[in-house]
Structure 1
Amino acid sequence: MSRNRQYRSEPDQPISGVSEAPTAPFHLQLQIGADGRVLIPSELRRQMRLEAGGVVNAELVDGELRLLSPAVALERLERLFAPLRDGPSLVDELIADRRAEAARE
Structure 2
Amino acid sequence: MGTTAVMGQQGCLVIPVELRDALDLRPGDELHITVEEGRLVVQKPAAPAQTLRGSLAGLHAERSLVDELLAERRAEAQHG
Candidates 52, 55, 63, aligned match of 2:27: 52
Unaligned 5+ segments in structure 2 are 75-80
Structure 1 unaligned residues grouped into runs of 5+: 1-25
User: Is the 1:32–1:38 contact (alpha carbons within 8 Å) kept by the matching residues of 2?
Assistant: yes
- RMSD value, Cα: 3.3
Partners of 1:48 and 1:39 in 2: CA distance: 14
Which stretches of structure 1, 4 residues or longer, exceed 3 Å deviation after superposition? 72-81
- Name the amino acid aligned to 1:65: L
Q: Structure 1 49/88 Cα, relative in aligned 2: closer, same or farther at 3 Å?
A: farther
Structure showing greater relative contact order (alpha-carbon pairs closer than 8 Å, 6 or more residues apart): 1
Per-residue CA distance 1:38-65 (angstroms, 9 max, x = gap): 1112332233343210111111012200
Aligned length: 72
Deviation at residue 76 of structure 1 after TM alignment: 6.5
CA distance in structure 2 between the aligned counterparts of 1:27 and 1:73, rounded to whole angstroms:
27
Inter-partner Cα distance in structure 2 for 1:37 and 1:50: 17
- Match for residue 62 of structure 1 among 37, 41, 47: 37
What secondary structure sits across from 2:63 in the alignment? coil
| TM-score, normalising length: structure 1 | 0.50
Pairing partner for 2:15 from 22, 34, 40: 40
